[in-house]
């Protein structure tokens, strides 16, 4: 892999993997190779049934992903732009529909396509040095990998319109205020805090992790009654599993549960 790194944790983080966008000389800008390698890596991770959490971050201290590679994009035809954007959408769907949790560790610039990829995470933790924005309008285009839609769902229609229409960049504290990120930490503390949360999630059963992600993802855009039915079906399906019996038994016996994912 030339443009990403994929690493697995140990001990309490044994069920946690980290995918690092790795083009630090280009501020980890998205190009077709990076998106292709990410898509292939996610396809492999889908088959890793021991994985519970994936952390996304960027190489270096300056950027998560500072957008798409403008030199590459400037040469695209309309058809080629469609193909490029469609690959970004596929990566986004794979992250959102993954059988494991996804945490975005935003260590610097998350602009354009970088913010679009970040928003496919379950939630985002940010360094106090992080910057966010959808600056595509400054280039004569609009977000093309889900930015207008995911940003609206995260921060509301008014704020999404403001960010996409002005192209302005906001800092981590403003991102926290508008609920784009869940928490902001001093730069050096970002990854330790991310892995602390990842370890907490990794200590849970894989079955409800998957169920929570599925019901929230697919329930968000349907009527409430339909969404509640999705939840009810997912809730009841967990009963009779080994992990349900273990979890409830451990609670009653006042001991720590040992989950097996069955």
Contact 143, 112 (CB under 8 A): yes
> What is the Cα–Cα distance from 118 to 104, expressed in whole angstroms?
6
Closest of 16, 65, 20, 8 to residue 195, by C-alpha: 16
Q: What is the mean pLDDT of residues 76-88?
A: 95
The 10s digit of each residue's pLDDT in 106-153 is 999 999 999 999 999 999 999 999 999 999 999 999 999 999 999 999
The 10s digit of each residue's pLDDT in 91-116 is 999 999 999 999 999 999 999 999 99
Contact 241, 207 (CB under 8 A): yes
Identify the CATH number of the domain defined by range 4-202. Answer: 3.90.226.10
- Burial label, 128 (beta-carbon count in 10 A; 0-12, 13-18, 19+): middle
The pLDDT value given to residue 96: 96
Residue 33 host element (H or E): helix 32-46
Helix (H/G/I), strand (E/B), else coil: 17? strand
**Which among 116, 162, 189, 196 is annotated as catalytic?**
116
197, two tokens: 């949360």
* pLDDT above 90 (res 66): yes
Closest of 89, 143, 87, 120 to residue 19, by C-alpha: 120
Q: What is the mean pLDDT of residues 171-200?
A: 98
* pLDDT above 90 (res 51): yes
Q: How many residues does the chain have?
A: 262
Q: How much is the mean pLDDT over the chain?
A: 96
Full-model pTM: 0.95
Separation of CA 88 from chain center: 13
Is 136 noted as a catalytic residue in this protein?
A: yes
The pLDDT value given to residue 72: 86
Q: Lowest mean pLDDT: which of 71-75, 89-93, 212-216, 234-238?
A: 71-75
The DSSP bridge partners found for residue 54 are 17, 102
Q: What are the backbone angles phi and psi of residue 50, rounded to the nearest 5°?
A: -95, -10
Strand ranges across the sheet with 131-133: 63-65, 109-111, 131-133, 169-171
The pLDDT value given to residue 71: 87
The pLDDT value given to residue 1: 85
Do 4-202 and 206-252 fold alike per CATH? no
The full set of domain ranges for the chain reads 4-202, 206-252
The 10s digit of each residue's pLDDT in 9-35 is 999 999 999 999 999 999 999 999 999
**Which among 7, 136, 189, 231 is annotated as catalytic?**
136
199, two tokens: 């370890």
Identify the CATH number of the domain defined by range 206-252. Answer: 1.10.12
């Amino acid at each position: 892999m030339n443009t990403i790194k994929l690493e697995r944790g140990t001990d309490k983080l044994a069920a946690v993997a980290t995918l690092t966008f790795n083009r630090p000389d280009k501020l980890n800008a998205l190009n077709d190779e990076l998106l292709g390698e990410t898509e292939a890596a996610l396809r492999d991770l889908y088959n890793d049934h021991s994985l519970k959490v994936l952390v996304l971050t960027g190489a270096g201290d300056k950027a998560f992903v500072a957008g798409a590679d403008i030199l590459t994009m400037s040469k695209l035809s309309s058809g080629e732009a469609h193909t490029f954007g469609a690959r970004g959408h596929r990566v986004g769907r794979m992250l959102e529909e993954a059988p494991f949790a996804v945490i975005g560790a935003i260590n610097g610039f998350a602009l354009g396509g970088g913010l679009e990829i970040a928003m496919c995470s379950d939630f985002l933790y940010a360094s106090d040095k992080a910057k966010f924005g959808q600056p595509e309008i400054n280039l004569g285009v609009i977000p093309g990998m889900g930015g207008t839609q995911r940003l609206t769902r995260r921060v509301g229609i008014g704020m999404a319109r403001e960010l996409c229409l002005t192209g302005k960049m906001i800092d981590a504290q403003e991102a926290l205020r508008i609920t784009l990120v869940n928490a902001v930490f001093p730069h050096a503390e970002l990854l330790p805090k991310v892995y602390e949360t990842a370890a907490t999630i990794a200590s849970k059963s894989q079955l409800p992790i998957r169920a929570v992600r599925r019901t929230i993802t697919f329930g968000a855009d349907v009527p409430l009654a339909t969404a509640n039915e999705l939840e009810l079906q997912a809730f009841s399906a967990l009963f009779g599993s080994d992990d349900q019996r273990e979890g409830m038994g451990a609670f009653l016996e006042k001991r720590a549960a040992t989950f097996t994912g069955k």
